[in-house]
Every structure is written in structure tokens, then in C-alpha cells.
Structure 1
Amino acid sequence: MLGFLALPLSLLLLLLLGLAWLLWKRRYRGLPEGLGLALAVGVCGVWAVFQSQSSTGALGLLPLPFYALAAGVLGWAGTNARHSPRRWRAGLGWLALLAALAGPVLLLAQGFQTRALNQQRAALNAAHRAEIERNRAAIKALLSQHPGEEGAQIEALTLRHAQDRAWLLPLLEQPQVLAETLDRLADSADFGIVLSVARHPRTRPDTLARIYRRPANPDYFFSDLARHSNTPPELLIELYRRPRSIMNLDRQFAANPALPAELRRELLAQTRDVHVVQGLLGLPTLDCDFLPARRQARARSDRPEDSDSLARLDELQRGRCA
């Protein structure tokens, strides 16, 4: 981190030393212009960066000190040069001032462009959501007209709208989707479609395993695979053992009623997350032999006095685990 900051800090130190030298020599010409342009670049740059709605948008703040420094130096040098009696030096001074002014102008243009793109994207998303809602209502009406044939109707619609995610997403919400339909759509290039397949309760174990083996961005599906009760036990073990690229994945494992007993033991022995303890206590297939380990896990968690966990433990101790 210190190495990364060495260059900008060195440049800032040089700028401050140069400013102190100019003030000591009482050479004030160009200083207001330079400081004003540097401030303009900083203000315009911060405004432009915060027009972005990206989670990494704040990284745009990193080069701003360099831009402000360049604008300040150009503004100071240009103001001094344009008062020179030599025409070529005066011309260079005007060019330097124009280059310094280009900084805030370009940053403002970038900010307005980003805002326009965000508005356009928001409008497209709203239209897409409205289309999905219309299709959801149409699907509901169609299925109500064919009781007992919902799976076949859904399969026909997925084939008819094979390239239209505004149809496929609401179709994959239906509980009557055939396992064969889910298996076919698991090969979609659209990650949103594949994610819906990974979340559907009727998705077969072999389909979930194939989703896990996809070569591109497999961690996109890890949370839902860890939580799905049809995920094969050997796949759950492999997913649990591999290096973690997803935060809070243990919470998904803890909520899976099909989690192998060995993974439950490891979770109980290692976790300090009260949400993991709550998930394990809420499983319908809870093994009473693990009750003491659950008490120990709750006691060393980040919220040892969690009322929900205490109430569930007492309920089990007085009830089925008495």
C-alpha cells in the first residue's frame, strides 16, 4: 500500500515545496489560476465519479490528484508564459491554459454521459420488468386453463420463446416445470436463466452437477448450489472444501437439509457466525446427537446471547430431543 502511494505523495510534496518557494519569492502570478483550475478538476472529477452506479466506480477517484496537479501546473505555467514579450512563449501559454481548462470540461462531459447511460439503462430495466410482469400474468392465465397439463404447457412455451428471457424467467418461477425442461435450460448462455434453474426445487442432481462444472464463472452459482437440497453430497463436499470465493457461503450450507453429517460437524466445530447456528437449528432433519455441539457453537458465536438460537435450543431440549 505504501509503495502504491509513494508516487502521488512524492508529487504532492514537490508541488507543496514549489508553492512554498514561489510564495517565499513573492511570485504570485499564476497561483490563483493554477489553484483554481486544480480545484475545478477535483470538484468536477468527484461529481463525475459519483454519477456512476457501479460498485467499483469509486476507483475513479484514484487518478484525480494527478489530473488536478497537472491542471494546476499548466494553469500556473500558462499564466506566466502568456505575459511574455515573445510571441511563441505567449502562444504556448495560451495553449497550456486551454489544456488545463480541458480537464474540468472533459470530466463534466464524462459525468453527463454516465448519467445519461444510467438513465437509459434504468429505462430499459423498467421496460424489461414490465414485460416480465405481463408475461407472468399471461402464463398464470394459460396454466389455469389446462389443469394437470402445466408441465407440458410450460415446456411448449419455453420452446416457443427459447431466446426470450422475458418469457423464460417467469416460466422458471412455476413449480410445475418439468425436470427435463430445467435440464435443457441449464445449458443456456444466459447466466440469469441458469441461475433460475439452479434455484428451482425440481432441478435434478445431475443437472446441478453440470451447472457446477460449467467452465465460465462457476462461482456465480455457488450460493444456490450450496443451499439446494438436490445438490449431490459429493458435490457439496467438494464445494465446501475448495477455496472460498463467495462471502457467507457457510450460511447457505447451514440452511441445506441435505448437508452431509460430516460437513455439519465441521460447521459446528468451526463457525463463529450466529446465522450459521440459526440455519443448522432450523433444519427439519436436525439430529439430536448434535445438540450439545450446537450449544457450544452458539456460545462461541459473534452473538452468544442470540434469543432466537436460545429459544430454539430450549424448544428442542424440552421436545423431541428431551
Structure 2
Amino acid sequence: MSALVSLESIQDAAERIRGYALRTPLMVSPWEGLSLKPESLQPVGSFKIRGATTAITRLAPEARQRGIVAMSSGNHAQAVAYVARSLGIAAHIFIPDNAPARKIEATRALGAVVEVVPPEEQYSRPEEFARETGKTLIPPFENLDVISGQGTIGVEIAADDPGISTILVPVAGGGLIAGIAAAAAALLPNARVIGVEPELAADAAESLHTGALRAWAAQETARTIADGLRTASLGEMAWPHVKAYVHDILTVTEDEIEDATRRLAVEARLLAEPSGAVTTAAYLHRRRELPAGRAVAVVSGGNIDPAFLSGLVADAEKVPRNTPAGACP
């Protein structure tokens, strides 16, 4: 069984990310009982900067000098590129060719060398490249330093609302929910950490509900509009944290994700990419399946495609105003 990250490691990460990552507030939402944790406000538009900063700043000087490698569908790529540029470290990043073009170009603009590869090579090619060059691989989730960095979100939630009942977290490779759940287990023992993922990429829900780590084929997970949640399975380092600390994983439909993305923009005045909107979708459409009491939805990122956003906002007249908590629009 893989080691579980400690509260001490997460607290160390909280110190390391100062000056790189924003300490995001808990925002009051338009929906009664729900607060939003807007990681979309981070310098690179997502929570990924927390884990990337932690992992990179923990590298030895000689490892920094050799340079770093990463693989990502876009948000981790931008985070690694941002931190590497800040520290003067060379970064080579592999991105699958089905990632949004905007995320690919944003990573290049941050100074990283970007190599676009087929989705089936997005993990094998970077690992091979790291072995060939001696550069250090900074994985998007399969790394305890990265998990510790993501856990700083849980530390902040505990400080801002120690009476919270539920923390809703998007799930892909599991680094985010593993870190938050580890922090919550230590600081918020009465809170329930619940993951959320698309029905079309529900490998984590299947894993938790069956008790065995499951993987979905790339062509299956590629169907969801939540491009940041297309990971085939939970990471082997995240999986023990999920089993130990996560209370449930819910799934939401593509229509529900679109609805939440639109409503976050129109009603909450907060930009969220579909991957970041799944938690709000769960609150709006699965409220009866959640525990009573106050909830926090982690809005994990806001790097939304402008054309996609434009189409959603154009349909704003479809948005029901002031939907009561617990009711489905």
C-alpha cells in the first residue's frame, strides 16, 4: 500500500506555495448552503499550480539544473511551465492532441517546450523521455509532493469554515481529492469529502463502489466535455487516499455539467471550465444525495474555451433563476 501524505507535508506545502499560488477565498454562491472555492482565480487558472510548485521547489539543485518533464491535458502543463519559468528551470511538456488548443498555446507562451502526442502516448512518451535525458518527471497526480500541494486547499477550507459539512471535489487522476481528503481527515473530521466526475468518465466512482481500482479506455473518457477529467483511472498513489478518506463519488451528466458551467458564469459571475463546474453540477442536480449542512464546491479551474463559453452564455435565457437548493431545474 502506498504511503499516505501527512498533515505536516501539506502544511509544508502551504508555506512553499506562498508567492506562487493565490490563497483563494470561500465565495458565497447564489445557491443557499453552498460556498465556492474558486481555484479558477489562480495565476494559471487552476489548482494545479499548488502541486506543481510543491513538487518543483522540493527538487534538489542538481535536479533543477537538468530540467523537468511533465505530461498534461493542459492545466498541469501550464502550472509546471509557470513555476519553471519563475525559477529559471527548463521545462519539456507533453500534451495529448485532443487537448484544447488554447491550453496548448498558453503552455508554449509560458516558455515551455511543448510536444503534442496521441492520447495513448501521453504517459509512456514522457516517462521514456525522462529516462533518456535525466530530466525529472513532474506527474500531474501520481506524486506525493503533488498530492501534498493540492491538499493545501483543504487546509484553507478548514481555516475559513471549520463547521463545513461537505467538500465537493472534481476527480480525475485523484491528486486533488487525495490531498484535500487527507487534510480534511486531520482538520475536519466531521466533514464528508465527496468526489464528482462525469458519467462518461466514471472510473473513480466505479473503483470506489466496487473496492477495486478500475481503468476506462481513452475512447470512453474522451466523450466528456470535461477535458480535464478524462484520465483513464485514479493514480496508484491517490487510490489509497480515496479508499481511506473519501466518503463517496457522484457522477453528473453532460447536460448537467453544461448547465452548471453556464450558471456559474451568469449567476455566480465566475468563469469555470466544465471540469471545474462538475462540483456545482452535483450540488444543483444531486442535492438530495448530499449530507445536510453547508457545502463547499471546489471550482478547480477556469480555462474554458471562449467559443464554448459564448455558446453557453447565448443560451442564458434557459437558466432558471433562483432555483431553490435541492430542486432540479
TM class by shorter chain equals under 0.3
- Structure with bigger strand share is 2
- Higher Rg of the two aligned structures: 1
Q: TM-score, normalised on structure 1? A: 0.22
Q: Normalising by structure 2, report the TM-score.
A: 0.21
